[in-house]
C-alpha cells in the first residue's frame, strides 16, 4: 500500500501562521486571499472531475497508492478540518489567522490527496462503477466545501445568520466523508450489492403495481419458478393474452436478482482500501462486472417502460414486443456470468440453464 496521509491534530495551529493580531486588517486580508485560492483550487478539481482530459491516465505514476486508502485518509482529514473550521466560524471571537491556517492545510493536504485518488482509479482496473463512484464523491465534496467557504465572515465578525448554512454544509461534508471512508472499508461488492438491491426493489415495485392492475387467479399449483396464472379484464382476447405473457415474463426477470446478488455480485474479487495491485481482479472480470451491473439497471428501466405502455395505452401487443428486449438483455447477461468469476460451473450455472428454458415457454 502506498504512503498514508497523517491526520493533523485538530487542536493545534502553527505558530508561524499567526504573524499578525487575530483580528488585524492584515490577518483579514490574508484570509480573504486564502479563501479565494481555496475556492479556486476546489473549483479546478471539480471541473477536472466533470471534464477529464484524454491524457489523464498517462499521468498515473508507475506504482500508485491504493486509491481507496488515499481517498479515506483524505476524507478523514477533511472531516476533522471542516469541524475545526465550522467551530471557528460560529464562535466568538473570530480568529482569521487560525481559519487561514486550516484553509492552507486543506489546500496542501487532503484536497490534492482526494483528487489524486480520483485520478489513480482507472475504470479498467477498479470497475467503471467504482471509478464513477469515487469521482462523484470527490466532486460533490468540492462543491459543498465551496459553499462552506462562503459562510466564513470575511469582515472578522461571526454572524448569527450564517449558523444554519455553516451547520448544513458541515453536516453534508461529514456525510460525504463518512461515505468515502466506508467505501474504502467495505469495498466494491458491498456498494454494488446495495445498488443492485435498489434495482431489485424498483423491479418488485413495478411488478406489484402491475399485479394490482390485473386480476390474479390461482393455478392448480405454482411451478418451480413461482409464477401464477393471470387474468386481465376489459381487454380483447389478443391484448389479454399479451398482457398475461408480459407479466409472467417480468416475474421471471425479477427472479434473476436474488441469485445474481448472492452468487455473482457478492462473490466478486473484493476491491477495498487494503487491496494490493496483485489482488486486483482481471480486466475480463472487471468488464464482466460492469456489464452485469449495467444490465441489472436496464432491466428495471425497461420494466418501467413496459408498465407505462400498459397503463397509458393498454396495448398488450406493444408491451409483448418490448418484453423481448428485456429477455434479450437477460440472455446476454447470463451468457457473460453463467460461470463463476474463476470460470467454473456452480449452482448458479445450473439454475440459469433452467431459467433460460423457462423463459422460452409460451
Between CA 95 and CA 160 the distance in angstroms is 16
Q: What is the pLDDT of residue 23?
A: 62
List the one residue out of 295, 322, 299 whose CA is nearest residue 310.
322
Q: What is the pLDDT of residue 264?
A: 96
Each residue's pLDDT tens digit, 127-186 = 999 999 999 999 999 999 999 999 998 886 666 667 888 999 999 999 999 999 999 999
Q: What is the pLDDT of residue 19?
A: 41
Q: What is the pLDDT of residue 269?
A: 96
**CB neighbourhood size of 113 (10 A):** 21
DSSP 181-248: HHHHHH-HHHHHHHHHHHHHHHHHHHHHHHHHHSEE---SS--TT----EE--SS-HHHHHHHHHHHH
Q: Distances from the Cα of 63 to the Cαs of 1, 3, 120, 154, in angstroms? A: 10, 11, 10, 42
Q: What is the pLDDT of residue 159?
A: 62
Q: What is the pLDDT of residue 160?
A: 61
List the one residue out of 228, 232, 45, 14 whose CA is nearest residue 144.
45
Share of the chain above pLDDT 90, in %: 57
Q: 15-186 domain in CATH 3.20.20.70?
A: no
Rg (CA), the chain: 27
* Nine cell digits for residue 214: 390485473
Q: What is the pLDDT of residue 27?
A: 87
- The residues spanned by each domain of the chain are 15-186, 189-360
As averages over each run of 10 residues, the pLDDT of the chain (362 residues) reads: 44 41 77 96 95 71 91 98 93 90 96 96 95 96 96 76 86 97 96 91 81 56 48 62 80 91 95 96 96 89 78 66 86 94 95 94 80
List the one residue out of 352, 253, 332, 353 whose CA is nearest residue 288.
332
**CB neighbourhood size of 160 (10 A):** 7
Amino acid at each position: 500500500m502506498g504512503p498514508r496521509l497523517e491526520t493533523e491534530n485538530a487542536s493545534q495551529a502553527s505558530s508561524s501562521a499567526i504573524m499578525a493580531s487575530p483580528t488585524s486588517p492584515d490577518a483579514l486580508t490574508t484570509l480573504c486571499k486564502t479563501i479565494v485560492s481555496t475556492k479556486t483550487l476546489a473549483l479546478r478539481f471539480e471541473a477536472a472531475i466533470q471534464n477529464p482530459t484524454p491524457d489523464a491516465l498517462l499521468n498515473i505514476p508507475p506504482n500508485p497508492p491504493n486509491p481507496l486508502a488515499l481517498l479515506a485518509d483524505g476524507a478523514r482529514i477533511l472531516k476533522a478540518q471542516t469541524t475545526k473550521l465550522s467551530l471557528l466560524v460560529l464562535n466568538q471571537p473570530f480568529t482569521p489567522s487560525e481559519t487561514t491556517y486550516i484553509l492552507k492545510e486543506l489546500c496542501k493536504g487532503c484536497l490534492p490527496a482526494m483528487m489524486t485518488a480520483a485520478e489513480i482509479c482507472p475504470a479498467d482496473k477498479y470497475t467503471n462503477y467504482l471509478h464513477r463512484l469515487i469521482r462523484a464523491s470527490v466532486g460533490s465534496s468540492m462543491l459543498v466545501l465551496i459553499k462552506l467557504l462562503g459562510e466564513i465572515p470575511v469582515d472578522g465578525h461571526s454572524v448569527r445568520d450564517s449558523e444554519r448554512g455553516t451547520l448544513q454544509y458541515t453536516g453534508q461534508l461529514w456525510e460525504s466523508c463518512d461515505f468515502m471512508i466506508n467505501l474504502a472499508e467495505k469495498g466494491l461488492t458491498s456498494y454494488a450489492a446495495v445498488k443492485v438491491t435498489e434495482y431489485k426493489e424498483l423491479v418488485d415495485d413495478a411488478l406489484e403495481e402491475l399485479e394490482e392492475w390485473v386480476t390474479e387467479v390461482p393455478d392448480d399449483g405454482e411451478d418451480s419458478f413461482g409464477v401464477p396464472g393471470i387474468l386481465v379484464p376489459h381487454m380483447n382476447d389478443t391484448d389479454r393474452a399479451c398482457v398475461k405473457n408480459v407479466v409472467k415474463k417480468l416475474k421471471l426477470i425479477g427472479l434473476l436478482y436474488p441469485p445474481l446478488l448472492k452468487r455473482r455480485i457478492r462473490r466478486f474479487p473484493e476491491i477495498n482500501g487494503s487491496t494490493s495491485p496483485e489482488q486486483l481482479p482481471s480486466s475480463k472480470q472487471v468488464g464482466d462486472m460492469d456489464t452485469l451491473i449495467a444490465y441489472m439497471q436496464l432491466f428495471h428501466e425497461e420494466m418501467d417502460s413496459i408498465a407505462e405502455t400498459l397503463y397509458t395505452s393498454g396495448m398488450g401487443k406493444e408491451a409483448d414486443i418490448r418484453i423481448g428486449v428485456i429477455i434479450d438483455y437477460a440472455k446476454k447477461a447470463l451468457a457473460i456470468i453463467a460461470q463463476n468469476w474463476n470460470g467454473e460451473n456452480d449452482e448458479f450455472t445450473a439454475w440459469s440453464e433452467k431459467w433460460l428454458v423457462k423463459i422460452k415457454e409460451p
